[in-house]
Structure 1
């Protein structure tokens, strides 16, 4: 199995539990994991929408791992997705201060996935 395929599958496997924690039962999981109370339908709706977005990315990354014509686009989407999350977290560090340790770990992982995804995409014929 190519390193690009493994990378996409690892990215998908890593994002899946986060997506489910956000949207499957947000009133239970979000307060437990992040200390944020889910106290309205609107907030539940937002977290479930985020879960849908994350799961759509997971599906695309799995498709990219299993279908060569989609691989380059899937790698690029990892770079954009993880890079975008990391940029938002960097902004929050500057504006809001340092968050809880798990969120700092997410930042490190997001930067790592964005950089590695970029390197792998550059190595493909269409990159």
Structure 2
């Protein structure tokens, strides 16, 4: 299996699981952090903002792993998505203090996938440049 498929497929799997839990039973994840859903509006925010969005992105990551036509778009999206989450957590660490240990571990995973996506994109760009130079 090549690195692109491994990065996109494993990220897709993790994001799909988290997204499905937020979509179908958000209280299961939120209870870990001591967050309680108090209203239908709060449930709606977690089900749509985290659940459906994560599932949709997981589908894109799986699509990029399975079809080279979508690989680059999926990698750019993975980089953007994971970087955005990691930066948001860093801002929270500074502004709000240290969260639950699980959220620190999640930050490490997000930073890892952002870095992995950037690395794969860089390798892809370098290979493309070498191929173009060889054709000249």
Q: TM-score range by the shorter chain?
A: over 0.9
Structure 1: runs of 5 or more not aligned: none
CA contact (8 A) 1:79 1:115 kept: yes
Partner of 1:95: 95
Q: How does the TM-score come out when normalised to structure 2?
A: 0.87
Residues 49-105 of structure 1 show CA distances to partners (whole Å, capped at 9, x for unaligned) of 121110010000000001101101101111000000000000000000000000000
Verify: 1:117 aligned to 2:117, yes or no.
yes
Q: How many residues align?
A: 126
Instruction: Give the corresponding residue for 2:65.
Output: 65
**Runs of 5+ consecutive residues of structure 2 not aligned to the other structure:** 130-136
Cα deviation for residue 20 of structure 1 reads 2.0
Structure 1 stretches of 4+ with a deviation exceeding 4 A read: none
Aligned to 1:53: 53
Larger CA Rg, structure 1 vs 2: 2
Residues 75 and 24 of structure 1: is their aligned pair in 2 closer, same or farther, counting only changes over 3 Å? same
Cα distance 1:42–1:62, how it changes in 2: closer, same or farther (>3 A)?
same
Q: Which moved more, 1:89-98 or 1:28-37?
A: 28-37
Shift of 1:21: 2.3
TM-score by length of 1: 0.93
RMSD after superposition: 1.4
Change (3 A) 1:33 1:21: farther
